[in-house]
Chains A and B, each alone.
Chain A
Amino acid sequence: MVRSQTLQNKEQPLLTLRGITRAFPGVVANDHIDLDIYAGEIHALLGENGAGKSVLMKILYGFYHADSGEILINGMPVSIQSPHDARNLHIGMVFQNHNMIPVLSVWENIALFLPDLKFVVDAKNVERRIIEISDRYNLKVNPSKLISQISIGEQQKVEILKLLLSDARVLILDEPTHVLAPHEVEAFFKVLDSLRKDGYAIILITHKMKDVLECADRISVLRGGRLAGTMLREEATEDKLINLMFEKVVPGLIVGTEETRKEAPEPFLELQEISTDTRGMGRGLKDVSLKIYPGEIVGIAGVSGNGQKELCDVILGIEPSSKGKKLLAGKDLTNRSIGIMRKNKVAFIPENALSMATIPYLTVLKNMVLTKTRRYSRHGGFSMDWQAARADIENAEKRLGFSVPLNVIAKTLSGGNLQRMIILRELESNPQLIIAAYFTRGLDVQSTIAARQALVQAREKRAAILLVSEDLDELFTVSDRLAVLFDGKIVGEFKPKDTNMYEIGHLMTGSGVHTDAEN
């Protein structure tokens, strides 16, 4: 009796989804999806943008309602009408865009999610519990700091702590590695591993093949709202997964540099010993000198927060430099406004498309025209030539090989589509200098390839390109030259073929600065 029961417990999934279906106007986001989740496993949900991963998990967490289908826990059907119900059933979720409250402290954000919080909040007690759990799983944070004062990596830890302290047994993590620096990802997987050993069921929503193969026990692939297949990690390979993810065959992941560029006589952009003031939590630049020639891609490697944002902002004219000179095509444009830089055909693809490059409640078309209103204005600015704008966008779509819907509100686009929109907008008018920061972050495999191809295309047209990235694979495949940024300084400059990831990695973390940086 006892034996059969334990056996059954082993075989019975902790959580079962049966025939989950949910349609949104114009699209079936989830089409009869079945899924089993066991205790003590890391289950990856893989799929490209818009495959329905997030929607499925938001249904499980009570954020959306399913049109049909049922959810069972330990074999018993349950009804999840709201996050409140989900949390009572020990299901917790970390959203892709962390939605913690920046002006509240770490402990307050966690206390918000504690099921047994007393009416009179005992801050000391909450802090003690946070420290207890954070010691056990090596998730060190300072509970009394404000969320706005801690890094994104630490915020991720707070999110996990929040779930653990709220007694969740099923942890749904939506693109958790998306915001993390490479070295943080590794530590994060270690945490997940120890959680699995303690019997938590972890659902990892991701589109990063590497993550999946590194840490998942089982992998379910969604495609176009349907379950394309589930397999054990041992039997999964990159090819198999890609075949499940995409109906059509994907061209090679890599966009190679075909030949070494001929260096133009004069750089398009030249920074001469630029420094900026250190402000708040940012890192000031220190004597940064950099040349970018027409027709080359200069990659900036570095752990984020080492001056990347400041570098982009100084070049764009968003932030003033305290020292040094900025020359654009030989002209001194030090500390000139971003308007002047834009007029000189500088394009910018920022790291966060939604907050830094979009007006969320305007349509995509209007967002696309935003940076070149002058070009389409007619009758002295009293009307806009939308026809011409559409025609230009369609041309660009053909050239770059991807398209976006033009008449929807920008905010409703998925992260990947939004990024495509920005790439289209910025590359459409043949810019001469492109500043691209983390521009494939959050994109699925196919969009990543398309985006990189767009960049390579722009290079063929003799644009000078600055590519800031944390993805060393990307930097090595696309860049003509690589510079490493550490603590606001450029600590090394290489041709990709003259160096390796190991060396760059050391420079990025500041451990190898003194060795063979001169090359």
Chain B
Amino acid sequence: MSILSILGVLSSALFSGTSLLYATLGEIVSERSGIINLGLEGTLLISASTGFAVTYLSGNPYLGMLVSMIVGGLTNMIMGYLVIHRQANQLASGLALMFFGFGLSAMIGKSFVGAKIEGLPRFTVPGLSHLPKLYSSLFSFDMLIYLSIPTAIFIWWLLFRTRWGLGLRATGENADTAFASGRNPKLIRYQALFVSGLLAGIGAAHLSIAYTMTWAEYMTAGRGFIAIALVIFSRWHPLKAIAGSLIFSGAVAFQLLLQSSGVQISPLLLDTIPYIITLLVLIAWGGTRKQSTPASLGRVYSGRE
């Protein structure tokens, strides 16, 4: 394996890991407030398809990204209405939202399959532009990649260093206590879901507008669920999510590299490497005492009597 191919693995890990990181950050925010959103996959799909459609129609990827974010936030409001207002079961609501997302995104994207767009522009990492083109093109990223780690730090700051974050975490641990402190747990959960949707929208935009620059039905291919697993992996912590999404997408890129280098292992087996790594991490994590699952994750808050 050459240096070039290893750099290639790193580069494509960054590209495919970015949408994962944004989605994971979003899920962390909603789970910290006590809502497990299994509909994340659906939110990602609806955002990715509308974002792509708007970019194609307007020719402006920034507008597409903005629409993708807002659509993500609004899609999550459906989830919010179900589980906060109507007090429906979170798991069932999430799954319903996911299947709704499959259908809706397929319909929105139908006439854009195979369409070509001008994606988000890429900038070479400063100081590397003098490298040969073959190398420097590996280090040419769009703004969402550059912003991903700052965003993770921002979300960490928001959750752990602000009043809003404190209230949000309190709601996820014990909504009654949050209520007793003069907060409105329902409002906080709506806010968390909206922020979560915005982040999922950025992730989806990266996928369809910046990375692949195409729309294909079910293009997220389980990213929403991997993000939910990564939330556990990163123990509901935004900074650990960076490592989580990089390790996972690195494993994906690595197995692609193995496949293309002609290793004599069934490609079907190689496909499972990232998931085996995920399983191994969950096994290793599972036994530790220091759990950080929000205590009222998945529970309905019915308010005062």
Q: Which residues of A contact B212 (CB under 8 A)?
A: none
Q: Which residues of B contact A100 (CB under 8 A)?
A: 177
B261 CB-CB contact with A under 8 Å? no
Q: Which stretch in A110-118, A133-141, A240-248, A415-423 binds the other chain?
A: A110-118
Q: Which residues of A contact B174 (CB under 8 A)?
A: 99, 101
CA distance A117 to B161 in the complex (A): 12
Q: Mark A84-115, 1 if CB is under 8 A from B, else 0.
A: 10011000010100011111100010011101
Q: Give which listed residue, B161, B173, B182, contacts A82 with CB less than 8 A.
A: B182
A27 CB-CB contact with B under 8 Å? no
Q: Which residues of B contact A121 (CB under 8 A)?
A: 161-163, 166
Q: Give which listed residue, B163, B178, B179, contacts A118 with CB less than 8 A.
A: B163
CB distance from A51 to the nearest CB of B (A): 19
CB distance from B179 to the nearest CB of A (A): 6
A391 CB-CB contact with B under 8 Å? no
Q: Which residues of A contact B166 (CB under 8 A)?
A: 108, 111-112, 117, 121
B124 CB-CB contact with A under 8 Å? no
Q: Whose C-beta in chain A lies nearest to the C-beta of B178?
A: A112
A83 CB-CB contact with B under 8 Å? yes
Q: Which residues of A contact B170 (CB under 8 A)?
A: 101, 104, 112
Q: Give which listed residue, B161, B178, B295, B305, contacts A120 with CB less than 8 A.
A: B161
Q: Whose C-beta in chain B lies nearest to the C-beta of A117?
A: B163
* CB pair B305 A64 closer than 8 Å: yes
CA distance A128 to B167 in the complex (A): 21
Q: Whose C-beta in chain A lies nearest to the C-beta of B180?
A: A83
Q: Which residues of A contact B295 (CB under 8 A)?
A: 101-103
* CB pair A83 B182 closer than 8 Å: yes
Q: Whose C-beta in chain B lies nearest to the C-beta of A84?
A: B182
Q: Whose C-beta in chain B lies nearest to the C-beta of A98?
A: B177
Q: Which B residues, 56 to 96, have Cβ-Cβ distances below 8 Å to chain A?
A: none
CA distance A496 to B20 in the complex (A): 68
Q: Which residues of A contact B161 (CB under 8 A)?
A: 120-121
* CB pair B162 A82 closer than 8 Å: no
* CB pair A104 B176 closer than 8 Å: no
* CB pair B180 A64 closer than 8 Å: no
CB distance from A170 to the nearest CB of B (A): 15
* CB pair B177 A83 closer than 8 Å: no
Q: Which residues of A contact B184 (CB under 8 A)?
A: 84
* CB pair B292 A103 closer than 8 Å: yes
Q: Whose C-beta in chain A lies nearest to the C-beta of B177?
A: A99
How many inter-chain contacts with C-beta < 8 Å in the A-B complex? 65
Given contacts A64-B305, A82-B304, A104-B173, contact A99 B180 (CB under 8 A): yes
Q: Give which listed residue, B167, B169, B176, contacts A99 with CB less than 8 A.
A: B176
Given contacts A84-B182, A95-B180, contact A103 B163 (CB under 8 A): no
CA distance A100 to B170 in the complex (A): 9
Q: Which A residues, 110 to 165, have Cβ-Cβ distances below 8 Å to chain B?
A: 111-113, 115, 117-121
Q: Whose C-beta in chain A lies nearest to the C-beta of B305?
A: A64
B181 CB-CB contact with A under 8 Å? yes
Q: Which residues of B contact A63 (CB under 8 A)?
A: 180, 304
Q: Which residues of B contact A117 (CB under 8 A)?
A: 163, 166
CB distance from B70 to the nearest CB of A (A): 24
CA distance A83 to B167 in the complex (A): 15
B99 CB-CB contact with A under 8 Å? no
How many residues belonging to B are interface residues under a CB distance threshold of 8 Å? 23
CA distance A297 to B176 in the complex (A): 41
CB distance from B34 to the nearest CB of A (A): 12
Kindly name the residue among B176, B179, B182 whose own CB sees the greatest number of chain A CB atoms within 10 A.
B182
Q: Whose C-beta in chain B lies nearest to the C-beta of A92?
A: B180
CA distance A93 to B176 in the complex (A): 13
Q: Mark B92-114, 1 if CB is under 8 A from A, else 0.
A: 00000000000000000000000
* CB pair A83 B173 closer than 8 Å: no
Q: Whose C-beta in chain A lies nearest to the C-beta of B294?
A: A103
CA distance A65 to B304 in the complex (A): 9
* CB pair B304 A103 closer than 8 Å: no
Q: Whose C-beta in chain B lies nearest to the C-beta of A64?
A: B305
Q: Whose C-beta in chain A lies nearest to the C-beta of B304?
A: A63
Q: Whose C-beta in chain A lies nearest to the C-beta of B292?
A: A103
Q: Mark B277-305, 1 if CB is under 8 A from A, else 0.
A: 00000000000000010010000000011
CA distance A93 to B179 in the complex (A): 13
CB distance from A413 to the nearest CB of B (A): 16
* CB pair A101 B177 closer than 8 Å: yes
Q: Give which listed residue, B162, B181, B304, contacts A112 with CB less than 8 A.
A: B181
CA distance A226 to B161 in the complex (A): 47
CA distance A120 to B158 in the complex (A): 9
B154 CB-CB contact with A under 8 Å? no
* CB pair A103 B173 closer than 8 Å: yes
CA distance A100 to B174 in the complex (A): 8
Given contacts A63-B180, A119-B162, A120-B162, contact A101 B304 (CB under 8 A): no
Q: Which residues of B contact A64 (CB under 8 A)?
A: 304-305
B164 CB-CB contact with A under 8 Å? yes
Given contacts A99-B174, A119-B162, A119-B164, contact A104 B169 (CB under 8 A): yes
Q: Whose C-beta in chain A lies nearest to the C-beta of B291?
A: A103
CA distance A95 to B177 in the complex (A): 10
Q: Whose C-beta in chain B lies nearest to the C-beta of A94?
A: B180
Q: Mark A483-500, 1 if CB is under 8 A from B, else 0.
A: 000000000000000000
Q: Which residues of A contact B169 (CB under 8 A)?
A: 101, 104
Q: Which residues of B contact A65 (CB under 8 A)?
A: 304
CA distance A88 to B181 in the complex (A): 11
Q: Which residues of A contact B176 (CB under 8 A)?
A: 99
Kindly name the residue among B164, B174, B184, B295 whose own CB sees the greatest number of chain A CB atoms within 10 A.
B174
Q: Which B residues, 162 to 210, have Cβ-Cβ distances below 8 Å to chain A?
A: 162-164, 166-167, 169-170, 173-174, 176-184
CB distance from B169 to the nearest CB of A (A): 7
Q: Which residues of A contact B292 (CB under 8 A)?
A: 103
CB distance from B301 to the nearest CB of A (A): 13
Q: Which residues of B contact A112 (CB under 8 A)?
A: 166-167, 170, 177-178, 181
* CB pair B163 A119 closer than 8 Å: yes
CA distance A103 to B181 in the complex (A): 17
CB distance from B158 to the nearest CB of A (A): 10
CA distance A119 to B173 in the complex (A): 20
Q: Which residues of A contact B304 (CB under 8 A)?
A: 63-65, 82
A-B contact pairs, 9 of them (CB 8 A): A65-B304, A83-B182, A101-B177, A104-B173, A108-B166, A112-B167, A112-B170, A119-B164, A120-B162
Q: Which 4 A-B pairs have the closest CB atoms?
A: A84-B182, A101-B173, A99-B177, A112-B181
Further 9 A-B residue pairs, CB within 8 A, beyond A83-B179, A93-B180, A101-B173: A84-B184, A99-B180, A102-B295, A103-B292, A104-B173, A112-B178, A118-B163, A120-B162, A121-B161
